[in-house]
Structure formats: C-alpha cells, structure tokens
Amino acid sequence: MLNSVGFVAVSVYTSHMTGMTASVADHLVLGSMRLVGIGVEAITLFVAGAATCAVLFNWGRRRHHEARYATVLVLEALLILAFGGLADLLTWRHRDIVFVAVLCFTMGLQNAIITKISAAQIRTTHVTGMVTDIGIELGKAAYRSRMPGQPPVRADLAKLSMLIGLVSLFFVGGVTGAIGYLGLGFPLLVAPALVLLAVAAPPLVADLRFRAEPGTERDAPFTVA
C-alpha cells in the first residue's frame, strides 16, 4: 500500500531500490540533477531506515525484550500514522521531497525487520527475489531425475505457498493503495498504521509487565546477528 500510494502521489516506487539506483545513473547521464537528488535521497533514507531497525532491534535484544521486533513496528506505525494524517496538510512546493524521505525510511524499517524475523529468508519489499524463488521451487517440482541412485529433487511446497501468498498480498496491497488514495487521499494510511500498532501491542505489554515485577530475570541468552 505504501509503495502504491507513493507512486500515485509522487510517481516514485519507494520500495524499489534497484530501479531507484538505475534511475539515479540514468538521470545523471541525462543531466536531470533534481531527479538525481531525489533518487539519492530515497536510497539514503532507505538505508537509514534499515540502520535504525538494526539499532532498535539490537538494543532490545541485549536487554532480552519481548518487544525487540515490536519496537520497530511501533516506530513504523507512528511514521505511517503521522504521514497519513498530515501529508495532505503540507502545501510546500517541494513536498514530494518530504514524501519520498518518509516513505523510503519507512520502507527501510519494514524490509529490515522482516529480514531479521525471517533470518534473511524474506524481504517484503523485494518482489523480484520472491518471484525468482517461486520460479526455482516450480523448477524443482517439475524436475524428474533419470539417474538411478540419486536422491530425488523435491520442491519446498510450504515455502512456495508462502512466497505466492506474499507476492499476491503485495499485489492486492498495491491495488488497494492506488484505489484508496484516489478515493481518500493520504488518510487511507491511518488504517494499516493502526493494524501495525495492534500487532505490536502484546509484546510491548509483556515487557511493561515484566518491568513492573521487581526481582525477576529473563533467561534469554544474547547472540550476535
């Protein structure tokens, strides 16, 4: 939804860093320096979002917080909530610069936290990688070995199902974002922000309860990642 709203609003796919990097190179050659600047801004803020995720996650993990993932989701939700509620009020002539900055930073947060949760198996803003993995699993399913004594090649059907679901939801989110933005404007984003806050609430409550009970310790060893 964020990616689609970003494109309809300012003609930028704020999750597509491959295309953004190519765009910077192309516009640099063509001499469109303003577009080069927006592209550099987008990439920088995406990286900053991912870095912020790593800082928050590792801060929480060292303290054995249940909410080490949820803290990042809360920040993401608050950014989306503020953006959805305030973006239409911004009348600055170059407001697209602000929009790209906020959306790319949020996309960096989102991609990094899912990368952490999935042990680098999933990156939710990288549909190219997911479609590639779908093709690999389909190829494995279609392969029939004619060599006796060799172990069979089997597709990971659970992974295939998950990837197809993720790509399908990305598509549905894009359609929803485009239709919703054209009908409601930026306030459309308030709804997904509230969903993220609801998802993040249980571990945050667990941490608050733990802190309210003195003399207890969590048995959760710290590991480096």
pLDDT band of 223, cuts 50, 70, 90: very low
- Mean pLDDT taken over the chain: 85
146 pLDDT more than 50: yes
Structure-token match 């597709």, residue found: 155
Q: At a CB cut-off of 8 Å and minimum separation 6, what does 215 contact?
A: none
Per-residue pLDDT of 47-75, as tens digits, reads 999 999 999 988 888 877 777 888 899 99
Q: Which of 88-97, 161-170, 211-220 has the highest mean pLDDT?
A: 161-170
Pinpoint the alpha helices (H) of the chain: 2-10, 17-30, 33-62, 70-86, 95-117, 127-142, 157-184, 190-211
At residue 173, the pLDDT reads: 92
Nearest to 113 by CA among 65, 78, 72: 72
At residue 49, the pLDDT reads: 94
pTM: 0.81
16 pLDDT more than 90: no
Contact 128, 70 (CB under 8 A): no
Contact 159, 137 (CB under 8 A): yes
Give how far the C-alpha of residue 125 lies from the chain's centroid of Cα atoms, to the nearest Å. Answer: 5
pLDDT band of 28, cuts 50, 70, 90: very high
Task: Let me know the angle formed at the C-alpha of 94 by 15 and 194, rounded to the nearest 5 degrees.
Answer: 45
